Structure 1
Amino acid sequence: MKLVEYADSEMMAMALADMMASELRAALRQRDRVLLVVPGGTTPGPVFDDLCGARLEWERVDVLPSDERWRPEAHIRSNARLIRERLLVEEAASARLLPMYARDRTPEDAVGDLAEAMGASLPISVLLLGMGADMHTASLFPRADNLALALEPGAPVLVPLNVAGEPEPRVSLSARVLNDAMSKHLIIIGDAKKAALERARGQSPEVAPVAAVMDDLTVHWAPE
């Protein structure tokens, strides 16, 4: 794991967006299409605002959430909605957003078909993750019912998860798929998240799921 510290979150967003754009360009020189995986939540929004203006062949880029709340895209809690509104605009408007939700189906029933549809886009070329103070990443929560499955070396591409206290079920890319990414980044802000990351380094993935993706991970941190 490599930690990169920035003076403030604005500088971090710009630098990270530039780095990811360069990595996407490099990947596009190697493959006809590339896959960019990004998180939901508020932290990556400024990165999206900068990355969407990058000049590259976005029409050859597939974009996928690292995880999704089981809500339609129009819902305020949908990660796909955030990605479409903040990232797939300007230069990036021609990128293709891959679905991680199926209307009128349960996560358990839909994950197989959703995974099959995204299979041709794998492996991930560029991955951006977030992390919670509880040391979860994507929807790999310490208290999730299917966490053990999501952490297995032979885990499926997508895992349905129910998290106690959360208002809806979720689906998440498994740790195996996240770790197969050619380039892996984690963005965190504030002293509390930095302290949580340090705690995670000495914990098992079952206790601190972010520990499952730390190998070859570049962590980008800025103060509040």
Structure 2
Amino acid sequence: MRFISLPTLFFASLCAVSQPLAADPSPVVVELYTSQGCSSCPPADALLQRMAQRDDILPLAYHVDYWDYIGWTDQFADPDHTDRQRGYAHVAGRNMIYTPQMIIMGQEDVVGADAMQVAEVMERYLGHAAKVDIAVRLSGTELSVSMPALQPQRAEALRVQLVRYMPLRRVAIKRGELAGHTLDYANVVASHEVLSDWDGTTPFDMTVTLPDDMPAAVLVQEWPYGAVLAAARVN
């Protein structure tokens, strides 16, 4: 009898999701709320790492701080990440937050370790066309972000955000629920800042200075804590 490991099934379910047919799809934004102090999180962390190998997915790991009390302080945790997760919960009418949680395109709440559910939701978004035509250009340290006015013209509450992230970090965990494990974490969010609010009635043009060469992405999201309408990696 041949046994198939849980990680094998876990990764196979994601790979079974077809590559997109759209010529220029917008990447699917997957926010994983995770912690080095959470024993249920490693499968979700591993899945996110697998997602990071695909150009049509923009996976982002937001490490939260509410597991730190158990005895291991997650060095990537940020209370702002916890506040962002709470914001999603509040808008959705949920009374609790948890790890590992994936928020897909700002809309779908999925248990991050449930590979089959994640794959099912991802299939609905892969290959989708962006709802906002976003263009980013990096010249030296200057990042330019531009978008035409929405068509048909309409006023919306949108937030343009800049995310900086670390592609891969390896951590030896010495205390807490995962004591003794050395784990890899992909696309760890180092900062998430608001560039501007925008109503879409006029073209958007903005230039900001990036202090280093850390990977970055720009998100355009209905606000507060609504659908992600477009995303672009900064190359």
Task: Bin the TM-score by the shorter chain.
Answer: under 0.3
**Larger Rg computed on CA atoms:** 2
TM-score, structure 2 length as denominator? Answer: 0.26
As a proportion of its length, which structure holds more helix?
1
As a proportion of its length, which structure holds more strand?
2
